[in-house]
Amino acid sequence: MVGVVVVIAIISVSCGETGNKAKEATKNAAEKVEKKAEAVKEKAEAAVKAVLGNADHGKEIYDNKCMACHMTGVTGAPKMDEKERWAKIASQGLDVVYSHALKGFTGKQGNMPPKGGFSDLSDSDVKDAVTYMLKTSGAK
Ligand code: HEC
């Protein structure tokens, strides 16, 4: 959008009976707008990267730590393809699900150890993994 405005400005100035000064001013203005657009683009790219990065991060944690139980359902862990069970889990609300994953909990099917037994994980590592699991299972 900004680019279009700039191009129109340049065309109208270069077609009109205007002096070099006006052309120069337009060029400077165009360069300024371009710089601004570049900065906005960079910001947008960083924001997208942050979001996608978190999703990738959650998958990485899941693949390395949580999959051991949640892939096969060993010891009663909800498997990733148990969509209904995950829907029920999600229905407790994110706060409860996060807290169960972080602090551990014993349900009807078995025991989920705090952070899956990996105390070296940060809280946000575990939350990213939970988000990934909810998404992958189709619950969220
Ligand atoms: C040692 C096996 C094991 C590992 C490793 C493990 N879990 Fe679990 N997890 C369980 C079991 C068992 C349950 C189900 C308990 C029940 O419902 O009775 C469970 C349940 C859950 C739930 C559902 C909680 C709820 O409210 O019902 C979440 C979310 C979860 N795990 C996240 C994780 C994350 C994230 C990791 C990796 C950081 C992980 N788990 C690693 C065994 C494990």
What is d(CA 49, CA 19) in angstroms, rounded to the nearest whole number? 45
Output the ligand 1 site: residues, CB below 6 A: 61, 65-66, 68-70, 75-78, 89, 92, 97, 100-101, 107-113, 115-118, 121, 126, 129-130, 133
pTM for the model stands at: 0.72
Tell me the per-residue pLDDT of 37-76, one tens digit each, with 9 for 90 and over: 888 777 766 666 555 557 789 999 999 999 999 999 999 9
In terms of Cα–Cα distance, which of 85, 97, 5, 3 is closest to 41? 3
Check the CA dihedral 45-128-94-77 and report its sign.
Answer: positive
Across the chain, what does the average pLDDT equal? 85
Domains and CATH numbers, the chain: 2-137 (1.10.760.10)
Among the residue ranges 10-14, 68-72, 89-93, 118-122, the one predicted with the least confidence is: 10-14
- Which uninterrupted H or E stretch holds 112? strand 111-112
Q: What is the pLDDT of residue 134?
A: 95
**Could you give the C-alpha distances from 26 to 5, 39, 93, in angstroms and in order?**
11, 20, 55
Query: Which residue, judged by its Cα, is nearest atom 16 of ligand 1?
Result: 107
